[in-house]
Amino acid sequence: MIRPLRALAWTAVSVPDSPVYLDHAATTPLRPQAISVAESLLRGSFGNPSGMHSEARAAKTVVEEAREVVAAELGAEPAEVVFTGGGTEADNLAVKGVPGSGGVVVSAFEHKGVLAPADRLARAGRRVARVAIDADGIVDLDALVAALDADTSLVSVMLVNNEVGTVQPLGEIAELVREHAPGALLHTDAVQAVPWLDVAHDARDAQLISISAHKFGGPKGVGALVVRDGVALDPLIEGGGQERGLRSGTTNVHGVAMMAAALRATAERRASDVARVGALRDRLSWGLLRSIPGSWINGDGVRRVAGNVHLGIPGVEAETLLVALDREGVCAAAGSSCQSGATEPSHVLAAMGVPANDALSSIRLTLGWSSTEADEVIPRIVAQLRPENASAAS
């Protein structure tokens, strides 16, 4: 397991020698295949892929080979893949890039990379509807139908929720969009789906698909948006006209090559990783539920990806628990990586109808390709933090 900054003398945090990493939904360690590509490219391929000379052409070849891999794994044509600076940029391009003044429909528990640009469109006068979520963390299809009309230009529903890990019925959603808003584009944030699902199949009905490399063993700061042939978007970043004019700027050659390598490795090992990690996840969740009285799992227990345990623990604040766990070498989170430090309840859990106190007592434990074991320290720390035990100890 890669532990950056461990050896830097200025770090003030004492990190255990063998931390248990349960925050793969926030970011994943680099896959060996991505590291191998980086080591090779960092010694060469320094040219600007927009140029004409031999070094530029070599870099261009690296980019286009990466594009072919990404396209194949996402069920797209190479020309339909637009490289971006990450999942949030891909989401923004999908939401704000759809031209016209038509309505925008999003689920209420989308990633902030979708909700924030949708809110901006609303402030600019566009009709924006947020579709309700049921208590299990699944989009309410009746509410979706009620929000759709002939004037709807974009519908955005994530394939896998980034906090509770629930898998959305994207095929049914696509059918409803075709029936009730035939002129609308369907976008899905598939950032959390790639490690666990065959996105090429499960998102085949979406015209716009966002991914982010660091969620499946690639580097941070690089992602992609699939833009199906015939779909017109207005760019967010203009300049030299790279990426078919949809994302100007010098392409991150090393980043996209590492992403492609990680994506290919993820696809090749997905079936075995899902089985192995799913067994680890089940052992972890069952053990926690048995060991921590009154605890519960947020979200549907079946319709979720293999690496997610979203645990509610009565009588313990998530923030306090996470600090204590970190001291014991367990890395976890209270919500999405974009708001892990927030003291307000998660908007995802709020959309699911989880009471505020329960939401503030919930933590997200996520496993991934590098996970090898669960940890037994959590119940012990919870017991120490519960009010009756804390008062007895004092």
> Tell me, what CATH number does 363's domain have?
3.90.1150.10
pLDDT band at 9 (very low <50, low <70, confident <90, very high): very low
List Cα–Cα distances, 267 to 192, 195, 198, in angstroms: 14, 8, 8
Predicted local distance difference test score (pLDDT) of residue 335 = 73
Report the pLDDT averaged over residues 208-226. Answer: 98
Instruction: Tell me: do 72 and 219 sit in the same domain.
Output: yes
- Domain assignment present for 71: yes
Query: Alpha-carbon distance 96 to 123, whole Å?
Result: 12
Instruction: Tell me: do 190 and 254 sit in the same domain.
Output: yes
Instruction: Tell me: do 189 and 319 sit in the same domain.
Output: no
pLDDT at 392 over 90: no
- Token digits of residue 216: 């499946």
pLDDT band at 264 (very low <50, low <70, confident <90, very high): very high
Residue 334 identity (one-letter amino acid): A
Report the pLDDT averaged over residues 136-162. Answer: 98
**213 in Cβ contact with 257 (< 8 Å):** no
Residue 383: φ, ψ to 5°: -60, -40
Instruction: Tell me: do 196 and 313 sit in the same domain.
Output: no
Point out the residues that are catalytic: 338
Element (H, E) at 115: helix 112-123
Residue 149: φ, ψ to 5°: -155, 180
- Token digits of residue 234: 């207005």
Mention every residue, 6+ apart, whose C-beta is less than 8 A from residue 392.
none
Predicted local distance difference test score (pLDDT) of residue 344 = 77
Report the pLDDT averaged over residues 29-55. Answer: 93
- Domain assignment present for 295: yes
Query: Alpha-carbon distance 193 to 368, whole Å?
Result: 12
Instruction: Tell me: do 219 and 98 sit in the same domain.
Output: yes
Q: What percent of the chain has pLDDT over 90?
A: 84
Query: Alpha-carbon distance 41 to 253, whole Å?
Result: 9
User: Which residue among 234, 264, 294 closes a domain?
Assistant: 264
Q: State how beta strands 296-297 and 185-189 pair.
A: unpaired
Predicted local distance difference test score (pLDDT) of residue 389 = 58
Shortest CA distance to 201 belongs to which of 16, 73, 57, 331?
Answer: 73
The pTM of the full predicted model, rounded to 2 decimals, is 0.92
- Domain assignment present for 4: no
Stated length of the chain: 394
Report the pLDDT averaged over residues 246-254. Answer: 97
Instruction: Tell me: do 53 and 151 sit in the same domain.
Output: yes
Report the pLDDT averaged over residues 369-380. Answer: 81
CATH number of residue 111's parent domain: 3.40.640.10
Predicted local distance difference test score (pLDDT) of residue 377 = 80
- Domain assignment present for 155: yes
Predicted local distance difference test score (pLDDT) of residue 375 = 64
Query: Alpha-carbon distance 363 to 89, whole Å?
Result: 27
pLDDT at 18 over 70: no
Half-sphere exposure of 63 (CA within 13 A, CB side): 27
Instruction: Tell me: do 51 and 157 sit in the same domain.
Output: yes
Burial of 104 (0-12, 13-18, 19+ CB in 10 A): buried
Core vs surface per residue 203-238: b (16+ CB within 10 A) or e = beebbbbbbbbbbbbbbeebbbbbbeeeeebebbbe
Q: What percent of the chain has pLDDT over 70?
A: 91
* Number of structural domains in the chain: 2
Q: Which carries the bigger pLDDT value, residue 80 or residue 16?
A: 80
Shortest CA distance to 333 belongs to which of 307, 302, 369, 300?
Answer: 307
Predicted local distance difference test score (pLDDT) of residue 69 = 98
- Token digits of residue 100: 């016209």
- Domain assignment present for 179: yes
Predicted local distance difference test score (pLDDT) of residue 79 = 98
**300 in Cβ contact with 73 (< 8 Å):** no
Q: What is the pLDDT of residues 106-134, one digit of tens each?
A: 999 999 999 999 999 999 999 999 999 99
- Domain assignment present for 192: yes
Instruction: Tell me: do 26 and 39 sit in the same domain.
Output: no
User: Which residue among 264, 292, 307 closes a domain?
Assistant: 264
Instruction: Tell me: do 231 and 321 sit in the same domain.
Output: no
Structural domain range at position 320: 20-30+270-393
Instruction: Tell me: do 254 and 298 sit in the same domain.
Output: no
DSSP letter for each residue of 280-349: HHHHHHHHHHHHSTT-EE-S-SSSB-TTEEEEE-TTS-HHHHHHHHHHTTEE-BSS-TTSTT--SPPHHH
Predicted local distance difference test score (pLDDT) of residue 343 = 61
Q: 184-193, 281-290, 373-382: which range is least confident on average?
A: 373-382
Mention every residue, 6+ apart, whose C-beta is less than 8 A from residue 343.
319, 360
Predicted local distance difference test score (pLDDT) of residue 6 = 29
**What's the whole-number average pLDDT of the chain?**
91
Mention every residue, 6+ apart, whose C-beta is less than 8 A from residue 30.
2, 38, 217, 218, 219, 258, 262
Phi-psi region of 75 (alpha: psi -120 to 50; beta: other; left: phi over 0): left
Report the pLDDT averaged over residues 279-308. Answer: 95
- Domain assignment present for 122: yes
Instruction: Tell me: do 51 and 176 sit in the same domain.
Output: yes
- Domain assignment present for 2: no
Instruction: Tell me: do 143 and 253 sit in the same domain.
Output: yes
- Token digits of residue 22: 């349960």
User: Which residue among 264, 299, 328 closes a domain?
Assistant: 264
Q: Which carries the bigger pLDDT value, residue 104 or residue 6?
A: 104
